[in-house]
A and B are shown apart, each in its own frame.
Chain A
Amino acid sequence: MIDSYIPIFIIFVFAVGFGIVMVKFSSLFGPSRPNKEKLSTYESGIDPVGTAHERFSIKFYMVAVLFILFDIEVVFLYPWAAAFLNFEPVKMVYSFISVIVFIIILLVGYLYVIKKGALKWD
């Protein structure tokens, strides 16, 4: 059984070797002319300010989590919407009702989010 894993092992060795060889070769043979700008942290051309380990406000996380939630809702709706016209009539009604229930549940969640003030920024 072990024999069949040998190709995977070879790929593994090759991948690690390739990475090391590429990095080593470019640092060995490439030109190296460092200056102050090149050696500083890359911040899209702007001088870096402070450390990266700052505390963020919880509001960012709230918005991000809620965005993912409602984004996934759309992801679920797309395949249904694309397949809707190909259904037989009975199935159309069933699937329509199911999706309406799904959206109502999410709507209640959305209203709850607004009422609890999770989207308030100040």
Chain B
Amino acid sequence: MTIDQFLLMKNEILLIAIAVIVLIIDLMTDNKKILFPVMIILFIFTTVIGFIYQTDGELFGGMYRSTPLINMMKNILNTGVLIILLQSAGWLINKAENHENIGGFCFILISSLAGMCFMISSGDFLMFYLGLELATIPIAALVAYEKMKFLSAEAGTKFILSAVLSSGILLYGISILYGTNGSILFKDLNNSVEITNLQALAFIFILSGIAFKISLVPFHLWTADVYEGAPVNITSFLSSISKAASVFILLILLFTVFINFSEIWNELLVYLSILTMTIGNLFAIRQQNLKRFLAFSSIAQAGFIPLGFIGGTSLGASTVLYFLLIYVFSNLGAFGVVSVVTSATGKESMNDYNGFYKTNRGLSIVMMLSLFSLAGIPPVAGFFSKFFLFTIAAKQGYYFLLFIAVINATISLYYYLLVVKAMFINENEQPIEKITSDVYAKLGLAICVLGIVFTGLFGIIFDYINTLSKGI
């Protein structure tokens, strides 16, 4: 064990260091506003280091591993959390009742991110479970953060109960897997896992435990209530970062440990995908609350992800990564606008956005780009990611799934355009007044717009991810 090997964990170590520094500053000063810029600078530093310094290797006898692909996944998560921190500045700093909680909020958010990083780079089911819990328990605290609001407290309770249930199912699966193979190291399981009834049961338990976190139908029932009750920034965290982290670990598990089970999970994921897309879309059409609408749209978006898993190819893995990269940008863009509007006026309903373009040109254009990207309209990045996913399914010959996916993409176009129509075409006597957002929110939205516009135009980004995913 040397210093070099500790550097493999640089991302996690830096994140934990930032979290502790935030706590120390929170203890020392009474003016909590100082804390925020310091933390943002430290966090930008961590994110940049993640892109520059690549690591490859394993630690603790294979319990922790790091590859260039895992690094890329962590970079996506870091960037997403950076955007969320920037967007939550308005909510934290402008509201006097939140001043006391700035330190706590940032600490909990960053420790949840550290848990996700540990989870992704685990080489062992024990490490995976610890990381998962470190990621989940802080989120429950964040969901119930506005503790005086009834909805927020209710959402927190619902979240922790469903998280406990899913962890229980997951642990049951892991214990069966340990009982049948005598090891929980991914390396050992790689060779010894085979299709027997008991191990298939274990696999299905583990898959459903993770599907809870990704909120694939039929494991989605907690999603809408929790997303509606939580503060907007936490909703965006849940629907993009938490979801992306769970998809990443599912990708790693399916492609390494359970690669022998591919005939089982190919079939399962086809059904999960069809159900998730269709039900997410059908519910999203009816929503009037914009937060709830984005929650169901994120369920529908999660339904497209399994298309990339089909066949278990490395091209599929890079397509999933690419889809999530763009999904994080576009989802956070849409949530960012909602967050700015909510913290300024408290309005969440879709009718409030009528005539939004007349008063807030910049914000409505960002919203339009994000929704176009989520819907998959050609010039923006969302089109390319969805198109690549469709080609993966087509290459494996799953034409029925492809047919359903294309129909669902068309349905989703309808409700995304409904919001765009409300902003640009509908008339309103009293539109939302001109909002001047703060520097942080502007920076966050600018990163989102850059991501949405340029990730699709430059093929080099996809090629880069594709070279990484060879060594999954």
A interface, CB within 8 angstroms of B = 1, 94, 104-105, 108-109, 111-112, 115
Contacts and interface: CB of A to CB of B under 8 A. Distances in A.
B1 A108 contact: no
Interface in B8-65: 16, 20, 23-24, 26-27
15 contacts: A1-B197, A94-B1, A104-B20, A105-B16, A105-B20, A108-B20, A108-B23, A108-B24, A108-B27, A109-B23, A111-B27, A112-B23, A112-B26, A112-B27, A115-B27
Interface of B: 1, 16, 20, 23-24, 26-27, 197
Contacts of A105: 16, 20
Contacts of A94: 1
Given A108-B20, A108-B24, 13 more contacts: A1-B197, A94-B1, A104-B20, A105-B16, A105-B20, A108-B23, A108-B27, A109-B23, A111-B27, A112-B23, A112-B26, A112-B27, A115-B27
Nearest to A116: B104
A115 B20 CA distance: 15
Describe B's contact surface by its main secondary structure: helix
Nearest to B24: A108
- What are the nearest 4 A-B pairs in CB distance? A108-B23, A115-B27, A112-B23, A108-B20
Nearest to B103: A112
Describe A's contact surface by its main secondary structure: helix
A32 to B, nearest CB: 43
A109 B20 CA distance: 9
Nearest to A104: B20
Contacts of B20: 104-105, 108
Contacts of B27: 108, 111-112, 115
A105 B1 CA distance: 22
Contacts of B23: 108-109, 112
Contacts of A104: 20
Contacts of B26: 112
A2 B23 CA distance: 55
Nearest to A109: B23
